[in-house]
A and B are shown apart, each in its own frame.
Chain A
């Protein structure tokens, strides 16, 4: 059974870079798009971007200048980097599979605070 597990720091300082990794277990990262979605406390879902196994990426224009998503097929994982963070980037960050997000990681709460 394929599972996703996100990992990374739960606290990031303002102006620094938020870095998260999503590990795919029980299956191959080959095929599909793999994406990141975030949810600020008490608010709705925001799509951040996605990548496929060959490295093709698409980003939300509202975050594009600060976002990088990469994939490491040898480790069966994909990663999110969000630079120059502010308090507005405080959210639960989810990794998910496909354009119909049929599989989600449990979410990583990231707080931006000094």
Chain B
């Protein structure tokens, strides 16, 4: 199985800050990485697919990059509504696997 490791597990930042979340795959996952945002009590929402493609309707302050084993989700200017837990997921190989999540809070 491909293990996905996210860091940090949580972070606290101010409104307007640039925030960077990382995800490392235990094996080459090419570009087959997706990022999700989950708010309490809600289903996850797709933000980024195939490492760097912004899902329709997602604000442009979200961006993704990386390939192979190292991936990044960046929020260029953190907004109060971005408070959530963020998950990466690989689908290069079965079983598809998720990272353990990064919880983002406002300072």
Residues of A within 8 A of B (CB): 35, 44-47, 50, 58-62, 94, 96, 99-102, 104-107
Contacts and interface: CB of A to CB of B under 8 A. Distances in A.
B98 interface: yes
B75 to A, nearest CB: 19
Given A44-B101, A45-B87, A61-B1, A99 B46 contact: no
B34 A101 contact: yes
B36 A58 contact: no
A45 B98 contact: yes
B43 A99 contact: no
Contacts of B43: 94, 96, 104-107
Nearest to A94: B43
Nearest to B6: A44
Nearest to B48: A100
A85 B100 CA distance: 23
Q: How large is the interface on B (under 10, 10 to 19, 20 to 34, 35 or more residues)?
A: 20 to 34
Contacts of A102: 46, 49, 55
Decide if the interface of chain A is mainly helix, strand, loop or mixed.
loop
B44 A45 contact: yes
* Chain B CB within 10 A, most for which of A35, A59, A99, A102: A99
Contacts of B38: 45
A47 B95 contact: yes
Nearest to A100: B49
B70 interface: no
A53 B45 CA distance: 23
A104 B55 CA distance: 14
A100 B92 CA distance: 11
B46 A60 contact: no
A44 B96 CA distance: 14
Given A47-B95, A58-B94, A100-B50, 8 more contacts: A44-B99, A45-B89, A45-B98, A47-B98, A50-B96, A96-B43, A101-B34, A107-B43
16 contacts: A44-B98, A44-B100, A44-B101, A45-B101, A46-B98, A47-B97, A60-B95, A61-B95, A99-B91, A99-B96, A100-B50, A100-B55, A101-B34, A104-B43, A105-B43, A106-B43
